[in-house]
Amino acid sequence: MREPDFNELANRLLQNGVAPRHAHRMVNEMRDHYDDLVDAAVEAGQPIREARHAAGRELGRFDDLVYEVSTRRELKTWAFRYPHAAMVLYPLACLVALPAMPVFAGIANAPLLARWGASLLAAGLLTAGLLLVLQLSILFG
């Protein structure tokens, strides 16, 4: 048996609606338990590779854990517990947040916007100057 993939466990828990804080805590606990099992097996005299395989077998499959955790309503995110409220509140939050995004982007990129504005001003002044020279040459030419 290969080593457990704790990142896959975290992804599966999150995809099943488990709140991120609970999912990451469970993954960290499982990882710590796995490390403790490996350390205990190595101390008992097993080679590291066999100790890892034995620890993986002892942990078992993650399918059972994912199923058990996914059935516990109190571990789910509020959007999975109250899907109808989420269908109303998420679009409202986007409606409020979207108009503010350009302001936040402008604040975050103020030096870039200042250079862009200065470039536009310089281009406008150069164009106005050229048009003035053309107008004067037509008028006095």
Domain boundaries, the chain: 1-76, 80-104, 109-141
Q: What's the pLDDT at 1? A: 54
Structure confidence at residue 138 (pLDDT):
92
pTM value is 0.62
Q: What pLDDT score was predicted for residue 98?
A: 86
Mean pLDDT, 10 residues at a time, the chain of 141 residues: 83 93 94 93 90 88 89 90 91 88 86 92 96 93 81
Q: Look at residue 3 in the predicted model and tell me its pLDDT.
A: 76
Contacts 24+ apart (CB under 8 A), 58-66: 59/4, 59/30, 59/33, 59/34, 62/4, 62/8, 62/9, 62/12, 65/9, 65/26, 65/30, 66/9, 66/12, 66/13, 66/16
Please give the pLDDT value at position 8: 92
